């Protein structure tokens, strides 16, 4: 019985260690003083106000949205295409293609950051929105591939054959037969892609310009060069936004997966 | 059945655009970096030789290895206990408890590192609590040293350890545990003889995954470490963005990439077909 109790205590404390730090920042964000306090003495929305009133922060937020939406669209379209192509390949090259498609998740971000920076500096893409969208799309792409491929495995492909033999073209077959089945995975992948781009900092640090700083890069600068009480409020906003965006995905996958 | 040629063509038009995209924006720049580390502009291996020759750089490799290994060790100890605890819960409560692992996993790395800075700083929350409760009389140095980096890295990487171990534990048929008990083995013996060996593939997956990801860590050592916790990613950034020694930065980057890929191949080889789906990543 003692072992059982010790195990519960241990497991419980690790779970608390994982979750608690994230919760601390939320009450702190309502502070109106310049020092960090867990329970604000004079709670207020001052920091949130300062964030939304600052044109600099708003520009960064707007740019982050712009880039994330662009990266999401590119990653979702290309990711879905490659998942559709991948399940059709019966060749022994398939594992190689699959490994290549998900490799942006394996390559350390600093390595990709250096490579993109080098390439962009030759073609004049450093500091451009296009450059950010392309690099973020590369990083977000494997998530879409993995999710959509696994949805396609549970899809009876003979339905596609039936649709074709009844005279529907490939595009019509996709939208009428295949897409309804993989819809949730595609939307889930798109949300992941958005989130990956919205949070990306290492690659963005290298390829963003002075005038194209995304929200995470602005946060990075603020952490390093100015101690500002606005950061807990921004952190709290990012946390809430991530949770809101990912809760549908979590809900859906919790129900399906075994763990 | 359409002729085989037509099928190949249809694959090509589906896989073509993504492969071209990844080729241009991802693979091509990586190849350029490999090229740039050897031809600057004449062929040379001096940048690789420099990594070995100059002891400061060898030191950075050692620090990277040490921090990654310690992170993996702590993640293994804490992660195994947590996974075992989670596996022992009834399914509904396990789902709830798993949220504590899943939720932080999805929250911005930068934000999580920043939160640790608030907690561990000299005037941070941990120090101010300890001071208020008179546990200590002087603030502790919890940040800008190895301790701070380790605490934050273990926090970021624990989910990578917990998920594979948990799925290995859940895949053990409960009859085996019952059989072992009814044959007279105590709880400890059942654990050592049945549960532990059967969960080893999960342990191996978690250990390799945590170590691989830890090797490339950049944000945590930059924010929570001091000069003595500079890891290879930080050295790369320093060479590319501060001192503009690009070929050397490229050589470092290629070394990190080869190490990562090597370990990843090991991971795939070792665990092929041995593990139930780990989920993400």
* pLDDT at site A130: 94
**C-alpha pair distances (Å), A196 with each of A128, A180, A245:** 19, 25, 12
Residue B6 lies in a domain: no
Q: Which residues neighbour A219 within 8 Å (Cβ) at sequence distance 6 or greater?
A: A201, A231, A234, A235, B110, B111, B114
Sign of the C-alpha dihedral, residues B27, B22, B220, B215?
A: negative
In terms of CA atoms, which chain A residue is nearest residue B34?
A115
Q: Residues 145..164 of A with a Cβ closer than 8 Å to B: which?
A: 146
Q: Is B7 on the interface with A (CB under 8 A)?
A: yes
Do B18 and A101 count as a contact with CB atoms less than 8 A apart? yes
Q: Partners of B39 in the beta sheet?
A: B43
How confident is the model over A40-46, as a mean pLDDT? 75
- pLDDT > 90: what percent of chain B? 43
- Between B80 and B172, the higher pLDDT residue: B80
- pLDDT > 70: what percent of chain A? 93
Residue B44 lies in a domain: no
* pLDDT at site B1: 44
CB A177 within 8 A of CB A159: yes
- Reported as a single tens digit per residue, the pLDDT across B27-44 is 999 999 999 889 878 888
How confident is the model over B137-160, as a mean pLDDT? 90
* pLDDT at site A166: 83
Do B236 and A106 count as a contact with CB atoms less than 8 A apart? no
Do A22 and B115 count as a contact with CB atoms less than 8 A apart? yes
* pLDDT at site B5: 46
> Residue B261 above 60 pLDDT?
yes
Of B230, B86, B79, B207, whose CA–CA distance to B155 is shortest? B79
**C-alpha pair distances (Å), B9 with each of A8, A76, A87, A145:** 57, 22, 14, 21
In chain B, what residues touch A47 (CB-CB under 8 Å)?
none
- Reported as a single tens digit per residue, the pLDDT across B66-89 is 999 999 999 999 999 999 999 988
- Reported as a single tens digit per residue, the pLDDT across B181-220 is 778 777 788 888 888 888 888 899 899 999 999 999 999 9
CATH number for the domain including B77? 1.10.3720.10
- Between A135 and B121, the higher pLDDT residue: A135
* pLDDT at site B276: 47
Residue B215 lies in a domain: yes
> Residue B8 above 60 pLDDT?
no
Domain ranges of chain A: 49-256
Domain A49-256, CATH among 1.10.3720.10, 1.20.120.140, 3.90.1150.10, 3.30.1330.10: 1.10.3720.10
Residue B121 lies in a domain: no
The rounded mean pLDDT for chain A is 85
Q: What is the ipTM of this complex?
A: 0.89
* pLDDT at site A24: 83
In chain B, what residues touch A141 (CB-CB under 8 Å)?
18, 22
- Between A33 and B233, the higher pLDDT residue: B233
> Residue A34 above 70 pLDDT?
no
> Residue A126 above 80 pLDDT?
yes
Do A219 and B114 count as a contact with CB atoms less than 8 A apart? yes
Residue B69 lies in a domain: yes
Split into its structural domains, chain B has a count of: 1
| C-alpha torsion B27→B31→B34→B36, nearest 10 | -130
Q: Residues 39..58 of A with a Cβ closer than 8 Å to B: which?
A: none
Residue B137 lies in a domain: no
> Residue B278 above 70 pLDDT?
no
How confident is the model over A8-20, as a mean pLDDT? 90
Reported pTM: 0.89
Domain of residue B178: give its range: 52-104+158-271
* pLDDT at site B279: 41
> Residue A227 above 80 pLDDT?
no
CA distance B111 to B117: 10
Residue B230 lies in a domain: yes
């Amino acid at each position: 019985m003692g072992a059982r109790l010790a195990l519960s205590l241990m497991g419980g404390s690790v779970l608390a260690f994982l979750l608690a730090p994230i919760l601390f920042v939320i009450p702190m964000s309502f502070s109106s003083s310049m020092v960090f306090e867990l329970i604000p003495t004079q709670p207020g929305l001052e920091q949130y106000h300062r964030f939304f009133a600052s044109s600099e922060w708003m520009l960064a937020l707007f740019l982050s949205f712009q880039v994330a939406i662009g990266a999401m669209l590119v990653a979702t379209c290309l990711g879905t295409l490659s998942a559709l192509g991948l399940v059709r390949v019966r060749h022994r090259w398939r594992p190689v293609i699959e490994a290549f498609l998900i490799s942006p998740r394996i390559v350390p971000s600093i390595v990709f950051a250096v490579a993109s920076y080098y390439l962009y500096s030759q073609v004049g893409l450093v500091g451009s929105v296009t450059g950010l969208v392309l690099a973020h799309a590369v990083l977000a792409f494997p998530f879409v591939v993995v999710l959509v491929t696994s949805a396609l495995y549970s899809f009876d492909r003979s339905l596609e054959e039936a649709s074709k033999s009844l005279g529907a073209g490939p595009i019509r077959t996709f939208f009428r037969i295949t897409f309804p089945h993989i819809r949730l995975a595609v939307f889930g992948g798109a949300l992941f892609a958005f989130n990956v781009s919205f949070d990306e900092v290492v690659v963005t640090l290298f390829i963003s310009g002075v005038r194209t700083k995304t929200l995470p890069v602005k946060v990075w600068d603020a952490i390093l060069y100015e101690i500002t009480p606005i950061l807990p409020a921004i952190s709290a906003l990012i946390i809430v936004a991530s949770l809101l965006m990912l809760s549908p995905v979590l809900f859906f996958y919790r129900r399906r997966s075994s763990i | 059945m359409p002729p085989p040629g037509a099928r190949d063509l249809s694959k090509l038009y589906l896989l073509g655009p993504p492969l071209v995209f990844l080729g241009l924006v991802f693979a091509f720049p990586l190849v350029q970096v490999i090229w740039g580390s050897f031809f600057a502009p004449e062929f040379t291996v001096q940048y690789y030789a420099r990594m070995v020759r100059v002891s400061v750089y060898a030191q950075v490799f050692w620090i990277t290895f040490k921090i990654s290994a310690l992170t993996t060790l702590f993640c293994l100890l804490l992660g195994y206990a947590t996974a075992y605890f989670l596996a022992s819960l009834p399914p509904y409560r396990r789902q709830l408890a798993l949220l504590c692992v899943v939720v932080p996993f999805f929250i911005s790395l930068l934000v999580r590192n920043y939160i640790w800075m608030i907690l561990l700083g000299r005037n941070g929350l941990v120090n101010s609590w300890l001071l208020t409760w008179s546990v200590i009389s002087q603030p502790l140095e919890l940040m800008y040293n190895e301790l701070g980096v380790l605490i934050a890295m273990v926090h970021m990487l624990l989910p990578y350890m917990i998920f594979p171990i948990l799925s290995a534990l859940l895949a053990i048929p409960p009859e085996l545990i019952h059989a072992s008990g009814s044959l007279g083995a105590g709880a400890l013996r059942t654990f050592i003889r049945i549960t532990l060996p059967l969960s080893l593939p999960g342990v191996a997956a978690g250990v390799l995954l945590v170590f691989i990801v830890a090797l490339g860590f950049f944000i945590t050592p930059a924010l929570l470490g001091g000069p003595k916790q500079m890891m290879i990613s930080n050295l790369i950034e320093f060479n590319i963005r501060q001192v503009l020694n690009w070929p050397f930065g490229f050589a470092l980057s290629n070394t990190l990439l080869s190490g990562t890929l090597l370990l990843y191949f090991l991971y795939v080889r070792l665990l092929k077909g041995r593990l139930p789906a780990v989920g993400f990543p």
